[in-house]
Structure 1
Amino acid sequence: MCLGVPGKIVTIYQQAGLRMAKVDFGGVYREACIETLPEVEEGDYIIVHAGFALNRLSEAEALETLQLLREMGALDENSAV
């Protein structure tokens, strides 16, 4: 089973003909392919699995999810996105 953690898009760019993003997961930055979500913009929150964006979240949904994950102990209390 996989756990999708919301991340915030920091930068959007093209790489090898694909629309890519640098995503902030609470201070950990990863690249993600955002071809499947052409509507996302810098500052949006997304769920990423295996390097591909699965869906876009509102900021409220993302922050609520992060808080629930912290309460469950799945995220460090100091993690912030």
Structure 2
Amino acid sequence: MCLAVPSRIVEINDLLATVDVYGARKEISLLLLPEEAQIGDYVLVHAGFAIQKVDEVAANDALNLLKEIAETIGE
């Protein structure tokens, strides 16, 4: 099963971007993204590549769900 994590772009340098998820930052590739990304955009990240832009509401809904699942597993 594959999982793409919604992540907010905080820096862009050519086809590389730094994204933030709950304070964790990671460098990813924008090479596979079909549209131009901007700082502040949310993207789905899979295997180090942004694969799709998503709106902020959808991104936050997905992140909250992932957080709930992690908390439930941790109990």
Q: Could you tell me how far apart the structure 2 residues matched to 1:48 and 1:66 are?
A: 12
Q: Could you tell me how far apart the structure 2 residues matched to 1:72 and 1:36 are?
A: 28
Q: Which has the higher helix share?
A: 2
Q: Could you tell me how far apart the structure 2 residues matched to 1:7 and 1:32 are?
A: 10
User: Percent of aligned positions with the same letter in both sequences?
Assistant: 43
Unmatched 5+ stretches in structure 1: 75-81
Give the TM-score of the pair, scaled to structure 2. Answer: 0.82
- Structure 2 counterparts to residues 1-81 of structure 1, below 5 A: 1-14=1-14, 19-37=15-33, 38-73=35-70
Q: Could you tell me how far apart the structure 2 residues matched to 1:25 and 1:42 are?
A: 14
Aligned residues: CA RMSD: 1.8
Amino acid at match of 1:8: R
Q: Could you tell me how far apart the structure 2 residues matched to 1:8 and 1:29 are?
A: 9
Amino acid at match of 2:22: G
Give the TM-score of the pair, scaled to structure 1. Answer: 0.76
Pairs aligned (count): 71
Q: Could you tell me how far apart the structure 1 residues matched to 2:21 and 2:64 are?
A: 13
Runs of 4+ in 1 over 3 A off after TM superposition: none
The Cα shift of 1:54 comes to 0.9
Unmatched 5+ stretches in structure 2: none
